[in-house]
Amino acid sequence: MIQCPIPVIGFCAFSGTGKTTLLTQLIPILKQVGINIGVIKHAHHNFEIDHPNKDSFKLRQAGTEQMLIVSDNCIAKIKDTDFHNNRINLQDMINELDIETLDLILVEGFKHYNFPKIELHRPEIKAPLIFPNDKSVIAIATDSKFISKSTSLPVLDLNNIYEISDFIHDYISANTNTIFEMEMYR
C-alpha cells in the first residue's frame, strides 16, 4: 500500500492525447494560487540526462551510487537504478520528493496504480476510454460533448485549463488532512 500525506493526482491517457502539454499549462495557474507542486513523470523508455565527457558523467561511470549536480539556482539528482526486471514503484518515487515543501504531487503515467486520476480523452486519437475499467479515475477531461452521457463522473473541458485548475483546487480543499493510499493493480 502506498501512502502520501499530501494530495496526489494523476493524469492518464493514451499517447498523443496531450498530458505534458496540459501539465505545462496547468502548473503555472496552480502556482498563481500558491500551490507548491511536485511532478513525477513516468517514461516508458530509457533516458539519460547526463552526457559523456561531462564531469558528472565521469563520476557516475567511476561508480558513484548517487550524483548531485548543484548550482546557485538548480539541483539535479541522478540516481542509477536497477529496475530492469521490476516495475518502478510509485511509492519510491514519491519518497524521492521533498514532500515537506509541497502541497500537491501531479503524476503523469503510472496508470496501473490505484490513485486519484484525471483521464484525458480525445476521440480523434481513437483510443478507448480508461474510466470504465479504472475506478480510480475521478474526472474526465475531454473535447468531446458525448462523454457526459456515459458517466456520472465530472466531465471537464480539456481545452479549458481554468476549469481543470478549479477542479484540482476543489479536490485539494476537500481532501485536506487525508492520507492518500494507493496500490498497484494486480
What backbone torsions phi and psi does residue 12 show, to the nearest 5 degrees?
-120, 140
Least Cα distance to 41 among 75, 6, 10, 67 occurs for: 10
Residue corresponding to grid cell 503524476: 107
Within 10 angstroms of residue 120's Cβ, the number of other Cβ atoms is 23
DSSP 3-18: EESS-EEEEE--TTS-
- The pLDDT-based confidence of 140 (bands split at 50, 70, 90) is very high
Contacting residues for 44 by C-beta, under 8 A, at least 6 apart:
109
Q: Which CATH architecture has domain 2-42+88-184?
A: 3-Layer(aba) Sandwich (3.40)
Span 23-76, pLDDT tens digits: 999 999 999 999 999 999 887 666 666 778 888 888 787 878 888 888 899 888
- C-alpha dihedral over 145, 147, 150, 152, to 10 degrees? -100
Rounded to whole angstroms, how far apart are CA atoms 165 and 27? 9
Rounded to whole angstroms, how far apart are CA atoms 7 and 2? 12
- pLDDT of the residue at 177: 64
Rounded to whole angstroms, how far apart are CA atoms 18 and 82? 30
- pLDDT of the residue at 91: 86
Q: What is the pTM of this model?
A: 0.85
| Strand partners of residue 142 | 121, 157
Q: Is the confidence at residue 147, as pLDDT, over 60? A: yes
Span 80-133, pLDDT tens digits: 777 665 677 888 889 889 999 999 999 998 888 889 999 999 999 999 999 999
Q: Where are the domains of the chain?
A: 2-42+88-184, 47-87
Q: Where are the alpha helices (DSSP H) in 83-139?
A: 90-96
| Strand partners of residue 141 | 120, 156
- pLDDT of the residue at 85: 59
Span 158-178, pLDDT tens digits: 999 999 999 999 998 887 666
- The pLDDT-based confidence of 186 (bands split at 50, 70, 90) is very low
